Amino acid sequence: MKKIILLLFGTLLTINFGFAQIPEGKVVVEKLYSELLENSGGENPTRRLTIYLPPGYEQSEERYPVIYYLHGFTWSDSLMVSDDKFDKLLDKAIVLKKIKPVIVVMPDQHTLYRGSWYTNSTLTGKWADFTGQDLVAYIDKNFRTIPNKDSRGVAGHSMGGQGALKMGMLFSDVFSVVYALSPATLSAVSEDFGIRGNGYKRVTELSTREELVTGSDEFEANVVVAMGRAYTPNLDNPPFYADFPYEYRNDSLIVNYGIFKKWEAKSVIGMVEKHINALKSLTAIKLDWGRNEDFDHIPVTCLQLSKKLENLGINHYAEEYIGDHGNKLWTEDGRALNDMLPFFDQYLKF
């Protein structure tokens, strides 16, 4: 019995020692001012950046590829570390050889209304240009990157997933590999964020930012307002200074067709046909979504986008998996560790 106990004790020590020996990367937090983000909407043009440097970065002169990871709506770069433990997942991925050592950059695009939508706006700032231009230039200048498109990828979840797809279209000369996890609102108005959703009706019943951004009670209305401020800002339309494709007057639905067309043109699916050559020039594209998605529009629009890309001859990967909007992302059996990072390992140039 004593021998068995000692053996078990030794085994536990070995396991714990093994985990303790996992090389750890370093998380660096910096601030970046961008003139592109100067705005009249009250947003701070100086943004926080959370940067993961792989194990051995400080002891070597090696250069690394970079993955730009775009967070989702209501989330932030700091929550990617404190809550999602993305840095620890990256450490594990490198040890398990899911991906070779890589720099990962997470810019903070949490706004007053909890999301930039990674879109240029005359009200809130040029968030797309900031991401594809100033952010990349800053990282290449200040860190040992491999400064060419073949060694840059962009990924994101939900709002960040649609942002990653937009970056691939708008900056195909900057990024080469795109991975979109459960990308949201690929078509600007559909399913739960269309006529059948409650968001547009609630917008007419609310009058302050504070009513929108507290918790999740007004999530749909919050999304609608944030998109409106990004897609169709209007300084003459208080309290949210945006126009919307749908509105309610005396409980009657009114469709603003001109605004509807503008939203569709700025959505991922609406942008595709103007960026066919850009999409074809990318090394690899992948999107995935959960079969049990919390948001009805995501499986519908992901499949719609995949079919459109296929019909246009744009090579890509699209996959539905058993999961919901977030339960299979950062877990041991999750998409980030087992699908997203290996995808970049395969297609980025190291």
The per-residue pLDDT for 132 is: 98
**What's the chain's length in residues?**
350
Containing H/E element for 226? helix 219-231
Written as six digits, the tokens of 284 are: 């690899």
CATH class of 27-187+267-347: alpha beta
Q: pLDDT by residue (tens digit) across 220-251? A: 999 999 999 999 999 999 999 999 999 888 87
Partners of 253 in the β-ladder: 248
Q: pLDDT by residue (tens digit) across 169-223? A: 999 999 999 999 999 999 988 888 888 788 999 999 999 999 999 888 999 999 9
Q: Can you say how many angstroms the Cα of residue 286 is from the centroid of all Cα atoms in its chain?
A: 13
Q: pLDDT by residue (tens digit) across 309-343? A: 999 999 999 999 999 999 999 999 999 999 999 99
The closest of 99, 116, 94 to 228, measured between CA atoms, is 116
d(CA 107, CA 48): 6
Residue written as token pair 């066919």: 276
Contact partners, residue 337, CB within 8 Å, separation at least 6? 89, 92, 93, 96, 98, 330, 331
Going by their DSSP bridges, the two strands 103-107 and 46-53 should be labelled as antiparallel
* 197-206 contacts, C-beta under 8 A, 24 or more apart: 199/223, 199/224, 200/224, 200/244, 200/245, 200/246, 200/247, 200/248, 201/248, 203/240, 203/244, 203/247, 204/247, 204/248, 204/249
Query: What pTM did the predictor assign?
Result: 0.93
Enumerate the domain spans of the chain.
Answer: 27-187+267-347, 189-264
| Percent residues over pLDDT 90 in the chain | 87
Q: pLDDT by residue (tens digit) across 76-98? A: 999 999 999 999 999 999 999 99
The per-residue pLDDT for 57 is: 97
- 8 Å CB contact between 95 and 54: no
